[in-house]
A = this chain, B = another copy of it.
């Protein structure tokens, strides 16, 4: 019953052009059971352009879903009518005319809805969600009410839980972020925001009179936490590429030496994918005389905290450094049918919020109390199936495909930038709102971005860039809204870091 070998076909299948991962050397040369014979066609290799050096994880590409190579057709007006407000309304007894029969059956609504989601998943470019996964083996578990009530490590009396899977997931991240098993505590959250709310809450409980510092380009959930928790917070300016303005941070810290510093470090900002330099921030704290007991660092790792450990040249962000918590999303890099995430912190911190709840026969340490046990199961399945090697391939795909997108946009005459360590390509905002909606681009002022995830392929990029060029030809292009606007920064050489200059600059217009 035991000792059933995992299918190891993924190992040694691809031939990485660059060795991105610090784990790679020990893995990629190992021949393994299931290897392809000489001359046999590898279905994975055909998935994308054969010249593509990074491929999505072999496991992921077996899944076609809606997020594969095909761009699905749009729904007709007739079909969209089946999903409108009136059709999906829930009949209410007090209105006898709608009591017995609804106009459209649930089955018909759901069939049409499936088509709509398939279409929309196939043309999604804007948000950092990996839409490509195959968890069909888990679908039958949707018949159970899986609730990891209370704490992951203290089993409640409610038996229908997935704690063993949740703990396996947290253990994996403890390994990834180098924190000793005896020293950490964590849980599977309902989304990245919950991880941030938890991290900042612990910070406040450790330093009740601390001031929160974070950059202006931080995810909105960080300053929301400060508002919820009635904390003093400082929004620090940013450098053109989106990193925190280190000098401004230092200046602000130096004004408040008498109060503990709570710093949120962005491991990838939301819009530009800029990674704040943790080491530099630590140096600033040291130079100002903040001892370890006087500062607290939360890392908002939304997307990149899951990618960076797999990038060979990336700086290290982990618990070997004096940080206190990391939050990451599970539905971003790994992909998951519902939002979820991981919060990891030092065990001593969580004791400050822990409350014994006798009713649960567990302790209340999380924000939510009742917790989605399905999400833990999905994360576990992704990690077990992909393994370190599979994730590395996904990360490699994202970085290389992002570079392809930047190059294709640039040679197509479209202004764009790609930050170091990032798979987020910032570009001039298209003037056609229909185009933005169709590709579901996220916009801020006069720029937009594409986050290249495992479901974004070169074929789709070619279609996207061609359509964007058509928009420019027919409707023109946006001008910077002002000299300090994101697009102005995008066009400026002060952005730094990118090895390809954007096509336009202000003087040429």
On A, residues with C-beta under 8 Å from B are 1-6, 8, 11, 23, 26-27, 30, 32-33, 63, 65-66, 78, 82-85, 87-94, 96, 99-108, 110, 113-114, 117-118, 120-121, 123-124, 126-127, 129-131, 133-147, 149, 157-160, 162, 164-165, 167-169, 171-172, 175-176, 190-194, 197, 201, 220-221, 224, 228-230, 270-271, 329, 331, 335-339, 355, 357-361, 364, 367-375, 380-381, 383-385, 387-389, 436-437, 440-445
B-chain residues with CB within 8 Å of residue A121 when the two chains form the complex: 144-145, 160
B-chain residues with CB within 8 Å of residue A168 when the two chains form the complex: 85, 88-90
B-chain residues with CB within 8 Å of residue A85 when the two chains form the complex: 164, 167-168
Closest to A106 in B: B384
- Smallest Cβ distance from A216 to chain B, in angstroms? 13
Closest to A381 in B: B106
Closest to A160 in B: B120
- Considering the chains assembled together, what is the distance between the CA atoms of A141 and B134 in angstroms? 12
List 26 interface pairs A-B (beta carbons < 8 Å), by A numbering: A1-B108, A5-B100, A6-B100, A26-B93, A88-B164, A88-B168, A92-B388, A94-B175, A114-B140, A114-B141, A121-B145, A129-B158, A133-B143, A138-B142, A139-B142, A143-B337, A146-B337, A147-B339, A157-B437, A158-B442, A191-B369, A197-B367, A270-B359, A338-B375, A339-B371, A361-B442
| Residue from B99, B157, B220, B271 in contact with A441 in the complex, judged by beta carbons closer than 8 Å | B157
Contact A88 B146 (CB under 8 A): no
Contact B169 A90 (CB under 8 A): yes
| Residue from B23, B368, B389, B444 in contact with A358 in the complex, judged by beta carbons closer than 8 Å | B444
| Residue from B101, B201, B337, B369 in contact with A145 in the complex, judged by beta carbons closer than 8 Å | B337
B-chain residues with CB within 8 Å of residue A104 when the two chains form the complex: 1-2, 4
Given A120-B160, A138-B142: 14 more A-B contacts, CB < 8 Å: A1-B104, A1-B108, A5-B101, A89-B171, A110-B138, A123-B159, A143-B337, A147-B331, A193-B370, A194-B368, A338-B372, A339-B368, A339-B372, A358-B445
Contact A100 B32 (CB under 8 A): yes
B-chain residues with CB within 8 Å of residue A440 when the two chains form the complex: 157-159
Contact A93 B388 (CB under 8 A): yes
B-chain residues with CB within 8 Å of residue A124 when the two chains form the complex: 158-160
Interface centre among A85, A167, A193, A335 (most CB of B within 10 A): A193
B-chain residues with CB within 8 Å of residue A337 when the two chains form the complex: 141-146, 374
Closest to A149 in B: B127
B-chain residues with CB within 8 Å of residue A126 when the two chains form the complex: 157-158
B-chain residues with CB within 8 Å of residue A270 when the two chains form the complex: 359
B-chain residues with CB within 8 Å of residue A89 when the two chains form the complex: 168, 171
Contact B142 A135 (CB under 8 A): yes
Closest to A103 in B: B2
Known pairs A168-B89, A169-B90, A191-B368; A146 contacts B338 (CB<8 A): yes
